[in-house]
Amino acid sequence: MLEDIQGQIAQLKRDFNDKFDTISTAEELEAQRIAYLGKKGAITGLLKSLGKLPIETRPQAGQLINELKNFAEKRLEDFRDILAEKQIENSIRNEGIDVTLPGNRRPLGRLHPLTLVLDEMIEMFIGMGFSVADGPEVETDYYNFEALNIPKNHPVKDEQDTFYTSDGFLLRTQTSGVQIRTMEKSAPPIRIIAPGKVYRSDEWDATHGPTFHQIEGLLVDEGVTMADLKGILTVFAQNILGNDIEIRFRPSFFPFTEPSAEMDVQCFACGGKDSVCPVCKATGWVELLGCGMVHSNVLKNCNIDPSKYSGYAFGMGIDRIVMQRYAINDLRLLYENDMHFLQSF
Ligand code: DAH
């Protein structure tokens, strides 16, 4: 008799397990529970039939049926947990959020080498008492040329050909026009720098482009001399390019300064040792800036009395300085936005 019960229990357990493989929803799970453990369920029925067994087999049969009941309850319970987890997973998937994925990292930006060097230069000049002045990139012929002592048909304008608009404006070729705008508005002592973009109708090559950056300097006061100019530019070069940088001043010509000079620095690429260096053309020197004492005509154009005041001015290409500073041998790298290049700063 006990064997019969044992056989029934084993069969029931197999059925119960087989059916489990087909369950995938809470409803199906509940139906399974009712079919086996409900009032009229198969396991419940087996328990009820216990009373019909001979007394001596009842305790052992009862224990076996209870084990089956416990097994079934545990499996139903476990599966309920699994279904609940699946439901959460499904709803996350349907909402399109997978909280286990790593987040979208935003790459940290950094400053362009031009901005890095410009910021450093501005800070340095501010430390020496200069303030920052600004002027428009779309200029008039007057501010860009005429007021700077460059008359209409002056040959210097050939070197600074630019983009003209049909209504008489031009894209400024130099930041020097800010000198005029500043002197018109304020009386000496004047001490400004003017950083900004300038334009020329130049083709791209390793050292030229149609757009580049300049920083202008102007100081007007009583008793200003060329020695002051040399002093400030020497301090500037040593600060930005290193204390042991070799510099030299060369006489030059600019219509808005008299006397005029250019300042060169020793070549960063070859140090003057390469007889075919493309950067310094084998001279060992790289031209960095133009400078001089503000021309009396320019002071007069701005209603400043040249018998009382004198001043110096300088103007330099920031791009050249960035190239010198980081030993970059092609200007175009600064404008191509190549991420590998930019990330190296
Ligand atoms: N504006 C000149 C240029 O673009 C540079 C320059 C030379 C500026 C001499 C000055 C200066 O202020 O005094 O080539």
pLDDT tens track for 283-318? 999 889 999 999 999 999 999 999 999 999 999 999
Mean pLDDT score, 214-229:
98
So what's the pLDDT on residue 220?
98
Where residue 270 falls among pLDDT bands split at 50, 70, 90? confident
CA 315 to centroid of ligand 1, rounded, Å: 4
Mean pLDDT score, 318-334:
90
- Is the pLDDT higher at 25 or at 300? 300
State the helix-helix crossing angle for 113-127 and 318-326, rounded to 10 degrees. Answer: 110
So what's the pLDDT on residue 31?
92
CA 107 to centroid of ligand 1, rounded, Å: 39
| Residue nearest atom 13 of ligand 1, based on CA coordinates | 291
Least confident span in 30-34, 140-144, 214-218, 238-242: 238-242
Where residue 329 falls among pLDDT bands split at 50, 70, 90? confident
Query: Is ligand 1 within 6 A of the CB of residue 257?
Result: yes
CA 215 to centroid of ligand 1, rounded, Å: 9
Least confident span in 103-107, 146-150, 172-176: 103-107
So what's the pLDDT on residue 24?
87
Query: Is ligand 1 within 6 A of the CB of residue 160?
Result: no
State the helix-helix crossing angle for 113-127 and 226-241, rounded to 10 degrees. Answer: 140
Mean pLDDT score, 132-144:
97
Mean pLDDT score, 251-259:
96
Judge whether 280 and 244 are in contact, CB under 8 Å.
no
| Residue nearest atom 8 of ligand 1, based on CA coordinates | 315
So what's the pLDDT on residue 315?
97
Tell whether the model's pLDDT for residue 52 goes beyond 90.
no
Mean pLDDT score, 223-237:
96
Where residue 113 falls among pLDDT bands split at 50, 70, 90? very high
So what's the pLDDT on residue 91?
82
So what's the pLDDT on residue 181?
98
d(C-alpha 5, C-alpha 148), whole Å: 115
CA 254 to centroid of ligand 1, rounded, Å: 7
So what's the pLDDT on residue 292?
98
| Residue nearest atom 5 of ligand 1, based on CA coordinates | 315
Mean pLDDT score, 18-43:
90
Bridge partners, residue 316, by sequence: 215, 289
Strands of the 310-317 sheet, one edge to the other: 131-132, 190-199, 211-221, 310-317, 285-294, 257-266, 247-254
* Whether the model pTM is above 0.75: no
Share of the chain above pLDDT 90, in %: 61
Closest atom of ligand 1 to 256 CA is 13
Query: Is ligand 1 within 6 A of the CB of residue 292?
Result: yes
Query: Is ligand 1 within 6 A of the CB of residue 176?
Result: yes
Q: Select from 174, 192, 233, 294 the residue to mutate for testing ligand 1; criterion: most ligand atoms less than 8 Å from CB.
A: 174
| Residue nearest atom 4 of ligand 1, based on CA coordinates | 174
d(C-alpha 176, C-alpha 262), whole Å: 15
So what's the pLDDT on residue 99?
78
Tell whether the model's pLDDT for residue 278 goes beyond 80.
no
Tell whether the model's pLDDT for residue 257 goes beyond 90.
yes
| Residue nearest atom 12 of ligand 1, based on CA coordinates | 314
So what's the pLDDT on residue 124?
95
- Is the pLDDT higher at 252 or at 84? 252
So what's the pLDDT on residue 240?
87
Query: Is ligand 1 within 6 A of the CB of residue 174?
Result: yes
| Residue nearest atom 3 of ligand 1, based on CA coordinates | 174
Q: Select from 314, 316, 318, 320 the residue to mutate for testing ligand 1; criterion: most ligand atoms less than 8 Å from CB.
A: 314
d(C-alpha 284, C-alpha 267), whole Å: 5
Where residue 149 falls among pLDDT bands split at 50, 70, 90? very high
Share of the chain above pLDDT 70, in %: 100
Of the candidates 89, 72, 88, 76, the one whose C-alpha atom is nearest the C-alpha of residue 29 is 76
